[in-house]
Structure 1
Amino acid sequence: MAGIAGIADSHGRAAVQRMLDRIQHRGPAGREIIEAPGATLGVVWPRLQERAGTLLRERQTARDGDSEWHRAEARLEEGRLILARDNLGLAPLYYGRTPEGQRCFASEVKALLEVTREIREFPPGSQDDVGGASRKFVLGQQTPLGDPPDEIARELKRRLETSIQRRLSGEVAGCWLSGGLDSSAIAALARPHVKQLHTFAVGLRDAADLPFADETTAFLGATHHALIVDVAQLRALLPTVICNLESFDALLVRSSLTNYLVGELSSQYVPAVFSGEASDELFAGYEYLKSLPAEALSGELLDIASRLHNTAFQRVDRSASAHGLVAYVPFADGPVVEYAVRIPVAYKLRDGVEKWILRRALDGLLPDSVLRRTKSKFWEGAGLGDLLARQAEEQITDDEFRRERMLADGSTINSKEELLYYRVFREQFGDLPDLSWVGRTKGTPRVRWEGRATVEEAGS
């Protein structure tokens, strides 16, 4: 992923240099800064996005991303600084004002902190040219498809394949492979179009995911790379991961520990990877969704999909960009999303089987054990379970939790594990006046649906 930064100052090169220094990991292949009437803009880019420098020089546009559905940009038009972000928020973008009142923006919070302590997340699907974001896109209800399920499955497969093919840049491709249905689906659809497919997995020695990942790669004839880690390694990694992730959300940090390592592993072999994110939100992959009334399911799916920008998408973005990688998310590609939201929910959750229509689309492309496998949260499948929660229980007393759980901006720490992560976060970023930009996984704290059983977290 490229990294962008800028400030509404025609002579802001020194400030933008400092900002780009903080996100140089996003673009190890190059850097460009321009000073122009109205603003100074900068960009760093990875190997697959060399055009970012040309775009800045020739069009006064700093951009991260490769399409309308994966893009964050800042551009100058007649001296006006205009910000824009893709519809679902795959590409990150934050903004604020300096103490002198100048508008500023960056791909990551750590870059903005070079010039301001006022941080806001730029909303997905928005454009802004007057200092306030104007929402241009909201994921909403669509008229359901009336086609037979087999026809829907074929079209879904075609759109996913097209999304993957459009991003293949040679005869070699990489895919993060948890061993679950979603990442396995992407690997299976990519495999026929490349000579060599590298797959990557990380977990503890007895992690449930690893045997399924092995089975999938053997079935596909892929070159698999698995890294076995222990709990001590993951604990030692917490400060690095939290600084990189820019969050203290407990479930997000858990899943980011192994995601960070799988990003590091894959960067040794490929410049870009595919990820299976967004499938659970589009195709009803979470167990708690089975307890919802049928009339509520469609709205709930739209709600959790609209929250991906500062949770799962943020994890994927930071885990890849920390190592100079580009990450592609085919399930979040525009044509796939536009089609998926029209698939009747009865085909997504059918006879108690989650992601039924996706499984139908993949029939014959994966081992039966993987095709029928139920959802496992990334951190559970990697073998983490509640190990980190137990560590927090041992380190933090009840009195400490009561004293520290209310933060200055009114937000709440939801568990001792989250407090453990927040302490590390505060060491990295200081006491910030507003933490509304920090994504919180839905279900933390747990919520109820019209008196029904407690809803499980949507999880990462």
Structure 2
Amino acid sequence: MCGIAGWADFDRDLRGELATFGKMVDTMECRGPDAEGAWVDRHAALGHRRLAVIDIEGGTQPMVAEEDGRTLAVLTYSGEVYNFLELRRELEGRGHRFRTRSDTEVVLRAYLEWGAGCAERLNGMYAFAVWDVRKEELFLIRDRMGIKPLYYAATGSGVLFGSEPKAILESGLVAPVVTAEGMAEALSVVKTPTHAIYRDLREVRPGHVVRVHRGGVTPQRYWALEARPHTDDLDTTIATVRDLLSDTVERQLVSDVPLSSLLSGGLDSSAITGFAAARGPVRSFDVDYVGYTENFRPNAMRPESDAPYVTDVVRHLGTDHASLVLHTEQLADPGVRAAVLRARDLPLSVSDLDTSLYLLFRAVRERSTVALSGEAADELFGGYRWFHDEEAVHGDTFPWLVVMGPNAQGGGGIMDQAFLDKLDIPGYIRQRYSEALAEVPVLAGETGLERRMREINHLHLTRLVQWLLDRKDRMSMASGLEVRVPFCDHRLVEYVFNTPWAMKTFDGREKSLLRAATSHLLPRSVVERKKSPYPVTQDPTYMQAVREELRALLADPDAPVAPLLDREAATAAAARTDSPTGEWGRYPVESVIQWNAWLKRYNVTLEF
């Protein structure tokens, strides 16, 4: 797990650009605190920052493949390939010889054997670049589900690329410009594939290869969800889900450094922890807030506290558990907020969810280098409440926006209405929703609710999950922690995507399949527990601190966000004394604060 950066230019000698390139690579230090490397030739420069996880000594990068003293290809790679041992054996059978035990060398040799088609053989989370010296071509390759990020910007004579936008912006060749479309994307929870908010940046789309050659830049798809008939009966389906999850977790336990599990007490994280514990001792962590359990107030989003369920799982599985307790002062710390913004490169913070996640990962990193997470189970198995809300299911927009309502729009109620009218966010969302629906694969003969739920499932697996995976990647890598997500194994995703909705809810509840497939591992209390999202602090002093920040912002005549605000509404929001317990009630205020910090720190130019 690492950070990568690079540059290909067919009109420029990059050996004279070492200073600029070095600064690009340095921006990835948080993603790779263990080592740094660079390979530079006339038309290509590949950089790497390493978080060592497998083959600590041998997996240094960029990695070069040579034959008879001649360089064939160079790789800079971020991620983990979980089937690398099987691939290594196959490649050895084809005559390849290995110098290391790393999965990095397997990926490089796989490229030499199969070209960019090697991506179809990889099981894992990855984003990497290969410079083929023989052809003078660059390939940017991203995993199927988009677990690991990869951005690029075309320059006219090549590309700049990096794990995060900051690597590209640091070059000075791409300006931090955001158009009306970029603002609309940033202010709506839609996560359009390839859209990177900044005008000249793009993301490599999940399941895609971007080929860079003298003739231009060419994206090519190597994987997408397909609609296939499901012929297994219910018992076979449950058993298959169980077997796939068991195999996936076993593969993802491979590590040469301390590994742990993130345990919230919910079904998803408990299931992953249970499969891991079935194979040996497990260290687990959860997040809590000072006074949260003792003073917990239920609401529609979170009907109960996590703590009793965490205790049940720890007792049942016998994990070596630590509860990481956060203080309000930490959540409101300007330094922590600045670190979160720097990790994101964008003002996409959702209340204290980002800051608490960052603090959790930072604390876990002190005791572990790799952690397993239950992320993506809700998108895959239908866990969110809007999967079961008639209005959301049959609405004409992204289902999560029906439930989140206007609060899903950053700065809602505080941003100037004339400014928002220019952006036409409702129109932007309609356009993106129409595009997303058009991508849904159709199964012949599928109609009614089954067809609609296939659409909804696809929207989640290609849009919402990208938003959440990106958040988890940025917060974890900013802490030097690798987080693995077993529910994103593409074999499991393909199978469950094609399982009928009637089976996914066979007992009338959410995530019926997952409950049935994991009930043998978990205490009954957790198997029967209803969905409860990641916790947010309920300490009223937190919101007081946030409003103090807003008041300071309004008093600053040079605040860059000021022209975008409804001054009267913002002043009223800063003067309120109530304390909303859910993140959506806090989101507008915190969003405005983050937008101001982002505009200032990144020196953003708004063009519209």
Same fold (TM over 0.5): yes
Equivalent in the alignment of 2:564 = 404
Report whether the alignment pairs 1:363 with 2:377.
no
Q: CA deviation at 1:310?
A: 4.4
Quote the residue 2:592 is aligned against. 419
- The structure-2 alpha-carbon separation of the partners of 1:356 and 1:164, relative to structure 1 and needing over 3 Å to count, comes to same
User: 1:33 touches 1:41 (CA, 8 Å); kept in 2?
Assistant: yes
Root mean square deviation, CA, Å: 2.8
SS in 2 for 1:129: strand
Alignment partner of 2:136 out of 66, 72, 79? 79
Cα distance between partner residues in 2 of 1:26 and 1:276: 21
Question: Could you tell me how far 1:218 is from its partner in structure 2?
Answer: 1.6
Amino acid paired to 1:204: Y
The offset of 1:94, in angstroms, is 1.0
SS at match of 1:376: coil
Matched, 1:125 2:125: no
Q: Shift of the alpha carbon at 1:323?
A: 2.4
Q: CA deviation at 1:280?
A: 0.6
User: What is the CA-CA distance between 1:319 and the residue it aligns to?
Assistant: 2.2
Partner amino acid for 1:134?
P
Cα distance per residue 1:46-92 (max 9 Å; x no partner): 12145653562223011111233411111112212221211211111
What residue number does 1:261 align with?
359
Aligned residue for 1:377, secondary structure, equals coil
Contact 2:48 2:62 in 1 (8 A): no
Structure 1 Cα separation of the partners of residues 385 and 235 of structure 2: 24
Are the structure 2 counterparts of residues 288 and 393 from structure 1 closer, same or farther at C-alpha, using a change threshold of 3 Å?
farther
Q: Aligned in 2, Cα 1:250/1:260: closer, same or farther, shift over 3 Å?
A: closer
Query: 5 Å matches for 1:239-258?
Result: 239-251=338-350, 254-258=352-356
- Corresponding residue SS for 1:145: coil
Q: Which consecutive unaligned segments of at least 5 residues does structure 1 have?
A: 407-413, 436-460
Structure 2: how far apart are the matches of 1:143 and 1:31?
45
Partner of 1:163 in structure 2? Answer: 248
Q: Compare 23-32 and 128-137 and name the one that shifted more.
A: 128-137
Decide which moves more: 28-37 or 344-353. Answer: 344-353
Residues 352 and 536 in structure 2, CA contact (< 8 A), matched pair in contact too: no
* Counterpart for residue 197 of structure 1: 282
Any unmatched runs of 5+ in structure 2? 66-72, 82-121, 176-199, 294-304, 395-448, 555-560, 567-586
Once residues 211 and 542 of structure 2 are traced to their aligned partners in structure 1, the CA distance between those partners, rounded to angstroms, is 44
- 2:90 is equivalent to residue 90 of structure 1: no
- Confirm or deny: 8 A CA contact 1:259 1:319 kept in the other structure: yes
SS in 1 for 2:244: helix
State, as a whole percentage, how many aligned pairs show the same letter: 28
Give the secondary structure class of the aligned counterpart of 1:366. Answer: coil
Q: Does 1:274 find its partner at 2:372?
A: yes
Aligned to 2:63: 56
Q: Does 1:430 align with 2:603?
A: yes
The AA in structure 2 aligned to 1:173 is: L
Specify the SS of the correspondent of 2:38: strand
| Closer, same or farther: CA 160–390 of 1 in aligned 2, 3 Å | farther
Change (3 A) 1:354 1:28: same
Matched, 1:22 2:51: no
Q: Return the offset for 1:174.
A: 0.3
Q: Structure 1 residue 108 and structure 2 residue 128: aligned?
A: no
The residue type paired with residue 119 of structure 1 is L
**1:320 offset after TM fit, Å?**
2.0
Aligned match of 2:270: 184
Does residue 66 of structure 1 match 2:66? no
Q: Which amino acid aligns with 1:143?
A: R
Q: Which residue of 2 aligns with 1:285?
A: 383
Shift of 1:102: 4.7
SS at match of 2:63: helix
**Once the 2 structures are TM-superposed, how far is the Cα of residue 166 of structure 1 from its aligned partner?**
1.2
SS in 2 for 1:47: coil
Contact map agreement 2:61 2:75 (CA 8 A) in 1:
no
Q: Which residue of 2 aligns with 1:457?
A: none
2:305 maps to 1:220? no
Distance (Å, rounded) in 2 between the aligned partners of 1:299 and 1:427? 40
Q: Deviations over 1:136-157 (max 9, x none)?
A: 1564342242222222111111
Q: Secondary structure at the match of 2:307?
A: helix
- Kindly indicate whether the alpha-carbon contact (under 8 Å) linking 1:198 and 1:223 is maintained by their aligned counterparts in 2: yes
Deviation of residue 3 (structure 1)?
0.7
Tell me which residue corresponds to 1:140. Answer: 225
Partners in 1 of 2:542 and 2:600 — Cα distance? 19
State the AA in 1 paired with 2:326: V
The residue type paired with residue 43 of structure 1 is H
Moved more, 426-435 or 20-29: 426-435
Letter in 2 for 1:297: M
Q: Contact 1:83–1:129 (CA<8 Å) still a contact in 2?
A: yes
| Alignment partners' CA distance in 2, 1:220 and 1:73 | 37
Stretch deviating more after TM superposition (237-246 or 134-143) = 134-143
- Asked whether the 8 Å contact 2:270–2:313 carries over to 1, the reply is yes
CA contact (8 A) 2:34 2:52 kept: yes
- Asked whether the 8 Å contact 2:48–2:61 carries over to 1, the reply is no
**Counterparts of 2:452 and 2:541, CA distance in 1:** 34
Contact between 1:13 and 1:33, CA under 8 Å: does it hold in 2?
A: no
Give 2:327's aligned residue.
Answer: 230
Task: Answer whether contact 2:352 2:537 (CA < 8 A) is retained.
Answer: no
| Match among 24, 47, 52 for residue 52 of structure 2 | 47
Conserved in 2, the CA contact under 8 Å of 1:197 and 1:223? yes
State whether residues 145 and 344 of structure 1, in contact with CA within 8 Å, keep that contact through their aligned partners in structure 2.
yes
Q: Distance in 1 between matches of 2:373 and 2:538?
A: 20
Q: Using the alignment, how far apart are the partners of 2:465 and 2:129 within structure 1?
A: 18
More deviation in 415-424 or 1-10?
Answer: 415-424
1:2 is matched by which residue type in structure 2?
Answer: C
Does structure 1 retain, via aligned residues, the 8 Å contact 2:38–2:61? no
Contact 2:62–2:74 (Cα < 8 Å) also in 1: yes
Q: Deviations over 1:386-444 (max 9, x none)?
A: 986776567658x97994259xxxxxxx8333212212222332215589xxxxxxxxx
How big is the shift at 1:382? 4.2
SS of aligned partner of 2:265: coil
Counterpart secondary structure, 1:374: coil
Question: Which amino acid is 2:273 matched to?
Answer: A
- Contact kept, 8 Å, 2:33 with 2:51, in 1: the verdict is yes
CA contact (8 A) 1:176 1:262 kept: no
